[in-house]
Amino acid sequence: MSAPAARPKLAVFKFASCDGCQLSLLDAEDQLLDVVGLVDIAYFLEATSKIVDGPYDVALVEGSITTPRDEERIQEIRRQSGYLITIGACATAGGIQALRNWANLDDFIRTVYASPQYISSLSTSTAIADHVAVDFELRGCPINQYQLIEVIQALVAGRKPHTRTHSVCMDCKQQGNVCITVATGEPCLGPVTQSGCGAICPTYNRGCYGCYGPAKQIHAQSLTDHLIRQGTAPAEMVPLLRNFNSGAEPFRDESNRIESLT
C-alpha cells in the first residue's frame, strides 16, 4: 500500500474496547499539537465534534468485533479507509472480552443483564484482521503512545513504521532487572511477549502477564513446559495465557493445548 498524501485525513474508530488506546493519542501531550498539525483529524469522536465524511487516508481502529452491527460497520470503514491500522489488544487479538470465545454467551448475558432479550451480541469477540485486511497492527493493552506517534509520523513521511518485535525478556535484560522467574519461580510471560511496555511488570517485582501479546517467532510451549516443571500448576498457566490477548494465535493454541492435558 502506498503512503497517503501530505496532511492525510485521519479517522479514529472505536469498537468493543475501553477507549484507552485512542486516549494514548491525547496522552501524547508534548507531541499532540504537532501531530494535529501533521494530519487532518476528520473523525475522532472522543476529541472533537467536527465530523468530516470519508473516505479517509488513515484509519486508526480500536476495539474488537462483538456485535452483528459492528461486523457490518468494519466492512464500511475498510471501504472508506486507505491505510487501516489496528491499535491495541482488542483490535489485534479480540481483547479481554474474547474470553467469551470459551464460554456460553447466553450464560454471560444472563449474568450481567436482567432482560437478555434486549442484548444483541455475537458469541465471539474477534480481531479486526479476522474481518477485513489490516495494513499495520500496533500491539499492547494499552498501546505505547510513542509507537503510535511513530506510526503516524512514518505514514506522513511515506516510510514504513518502525516498531520492535523482540520479546519483553530482552528489554528486561537491557534494564538490568533480576529475572522474576529465575529468582522467585513466579511465572512470567516475558520470554514470549512482544516488547513495547518497557518491561514494567518485572521492573515492579511481578511477572509479565502478556499484555503486548505474542512476540514474533516464539515457541510458547518451551516456556510453559519450563514453568510447569518449576511448579506452576497447568491449571494456572491457562488463565495466564488467556487474558488480554487470549485470541492471539500462539497464546490461544498453547492455552488450549494445556487445557486439553488437564
Partner 1 sequence: MSNRTIKVEALTRVEGEGGLYVQLDGDEVRDVKLSIYEPPRFFEAFLQGRKLEEVPDITARICGICPVAYQMSAVHALEAALGVSMTPEIRRLRRLLYCGEWIESHALHMHLLHAPDFLGFHGVTDMAAHFPDEVNRGLRLKKHGNELLEVLGGRAIHPINVCVGGFYRAPKREKLTKLLPDFEWGLEAAVEATQWVATLDFPDFSRPYEMVALHHPDEYAMNEGQVASTSGLSIDVRDYEQHFEERHVQHSTALHSVRQGTDASYHVGPLARVNLSLEQLSPRARQLADELDIDWPCWNPFQAIVARGLELVHAYEEAIEIIRDYRPIQPSQIKYTHHAGFGCAATEAPRGLIYHRYEVDRDGKIVFAKIVPPTSQNQQQIEEDLRDWLPRVIVDDDQQTALDCERLIRCYDPCISCSTHFLRLTIDRGEPA
Of 7 and 160, CB closest to partner 1: 7
Whether omega before 142 lies within 30 degrees of 0, making that bond cis, reads yes
Chain contacts with partner 1 (rule: CB under 8 A): 14-24, 26-27, 29-30, 32-33, 36, 41, 44-51, 66-67, 69-70, 95-97, 99-100, 103, 107-109, 111-115, 118-119, 121, 125, 141-142, 197-198, 200-201, 203-206, 209, 211, 236, 239, 243-244
Cβ proximity to partner 1: between 21 and 215 the closer is 21
Are the C-beta atoms of 65 and 98 separated by less than 8 Å?
A: no
Kindly state the smallest distance separating residue 138's Cβ from partner 1, in Å.
Answer: 14
Given the complex with partner 1, which of 6 and 158 has the nearer CB atom? 6
The least CB distance from residue 203 to partner 1, in Å, is: 7
Distance in angstroms (rounded) separating the CA atoms of residues 92 and 250: 13
β-strand 9-14 against 81-87: which pairing, if any? unpaired
CA–CA distances in Å: residue 19 to residues 93, 119, 202 = 16, 21, 26
CB of 258 to partner 1, least distance (A): 16
Which residue number, 81 or 144, has a Cβ lying nearer to partner 1?
A: 144
**Shortest Å distance, C-beta 30 to partner 1:** 7
Query: In the complex, what is the shortest distance from the CB of residue 116 to partner 1, in angstroms, rounded to a whole number?
Result: 9
Amino acid identity of residue 222, one-letter, is: S
Cell triple for 99 = 474470553
| Residue 180: closest CA among 163, 196, 197, 168 | 168
In angstroms, rounded to a whole number, what is the distance separating the alpha carbons of residues 124 and 64?
Answer: 10
Amino acid (one-letter) located at 139: R
Complex with partner 1: residue 160 or 206, whichever CB lies closer: 206
**Which of 135, 228 has the CB closer to partner 1?**
228
Do residues 109 and 97 make contact, with C-beta atoms less than 8 angstroms apart? Answer: no
Find the shortest distance in angstroms from Cβ 19 to partner 1: 4
Overall size of the chain counted in residues: 262
